[in-house]
Structure 1
């Protein structure tokens, strides 16, 4: 046992030295090792964030991991429930989370990067049920399945006065289950790419139709604390390069 311990000791010391070694940032400066604590949420947000496997994946994860590596950051995934994310970000427990600015109450408290991808929110309708959408007035007296904690700015005034009813669920996959099997639900509202991903993986493509009109198009970004302006500037510069040289398109192609 003594000999085994003596052999392992140098390896342990070497590992500590690697972790403590300087990181070289994208601009050539040498800084101590830095970690970007990135919220991926407990259930993810496929295909933008996927947490089913041993390691996170998804569009946003791939982009953030690529850019952070170039900026001299390791990325540590954090699984924070939606209702706690904003406060934990402000208090410094996490460093960033993916978010559309329009989904945030009091967005002026935060800093946002340039959009990584666009979110297009549409309605998913079960079977051949009669349903059309061109404006929120088309939804009056209907019940829409929505994601817990999400805001839908075009619909919020109608939700508040009860003209349109919302039914919140915490998992994107469950939204489609409720709509498909619940008689009192008329449609689910979700990002088109998210919905198509779920329906394809669940074998439900033929059981839903998708409205041609969307209720919104938002930029999906990183939401940071306001003191992360330098990081946001560097992130935006690398993101622009990825868009220009085709790297971002290659990542998107992996999830379509």
Structure 2
């Protein structure tokens, strides 16, 4: 009895310093289902991967969900949150942030109504169309330059969901979005009649990696990026990364309330 008690005391003595040494990392996040969402289990696939990768390195991730433009601004300032998740290397961001290895690589496509005959090969082909876009999002260097030069007509509003509603109503002609994100929104956030009226063009606008970013203002930015990269590799080596990825198809991240309203 005394021996077992002694073992328990020694175990606690060893474990408690480890628990106490765990540190918190505050990151901004936003709505981008099924990859990030305050309303999804584990906050979506990307949020889960980031949290689990850091956990393997003894770091606890704390998320706050904000509109994407503000999420980036707050992370850049580094006063409360020192970084963010799911960002591409675009629009000068590497000047202000350190980037991790890609969490995932995804493809953007143009969504459009099925009753619109649409094809494109270059940005010249997009001139006749009204294109929706989401505030705070980058759709790549070529898109940004075409938008800035007025080569394409772009109308920006606050959310992807609102853009899909405008698309269904014919108020815009095209909306660029990550393929999986687009169909997740259509299937689970909009009426079935809306989803059935919209399709996507097969040509990729771009394929891009999405990363953890830590502001360069933070003294330990390099250490946190390195920690994530190590944790991500551990997840992949263990097979857990693929399991988490399969969870998207299996609907793991959607809560029961979401399923009930389909």
For Structure 1 versus Structure 2, the TM-score category normalised by the shorter chain is 0.7 to 0.9
Match of 2:113 among 126, 134, 143: 126
8 Å contact kept, 1:59–1:252:
yes
TM norm structure 1: 0.81
Match of 2:182 among 170, 192, 195: 195
Give the RMSD, CA atoms, in angstroms: 2.0
8 Å contact kept, 2:49–2:241:
yes
**Match of 2:168?**
180
CA distance in 1, matches of 2:84, 2:91: 12
**Match of 1:223?**
213
8 Å contact kept, 1:119–1:218:
yes
8 Å contact kept, 2:33–2:181:
yes
CA distance in 2, matches of 1:135, 1:149: 24
8 Å contact kept, 2:76–2:215:
yes
Going from structure 1 to structure 2, the CA distance change for 1:104 and 1:205 (only over 3 Å counts) comes to same
Matches within 5 A, 1:89-168: 89-92=75-78, 93-152=80-139, 153-168=141-156
For structure 2, list consecutive stretches of 5 or more residues without a partner in the other structure: 1-15, 250-262
1:206 and 2:187 correspond: no
CA distance in 2, matches of 1:245, 1:75: 21
How far residue 56 of structure 1 moved from its aligned partner, in angstroms, is 4.9
8 Å contact kept, 2:102–2:211:
yes
For structure 1, list consecutive stretches of 5 or more residues without a partner in the other structure: 1-20, 25-30
How far residue 119 of structure 1 moved from its aligned partner, in angstroms, is 2.1
How far residue 106 of structure 1 moved from its aligned partner, in angstroms, is 4.1
Please list the CA deviations of residues 76-105 of structure 1 after superposition, one character each: whole Å capped at 9, or x if unmatched.
121233333334223321122123333343
CA distance in 1, matches of 2:233, 2:244: 14
May I ask how many residue pairs the two structures share in their alignment? 226
CA distance in 2, matches of 1:141, 1:85: 33
1:248 and 2:241 correspond: yes
CA distance in 2, matches of 1:96, 1:140: 37
Match of 2:32 among 45, 67, 73: 45
Match of 1:239 among 232, 238, 255: 232
8 Å contact kept, 1:113–1:232:
yes
How far residue 206 of structure 1 moved from its aligned partner, in angstroms, is 2.3
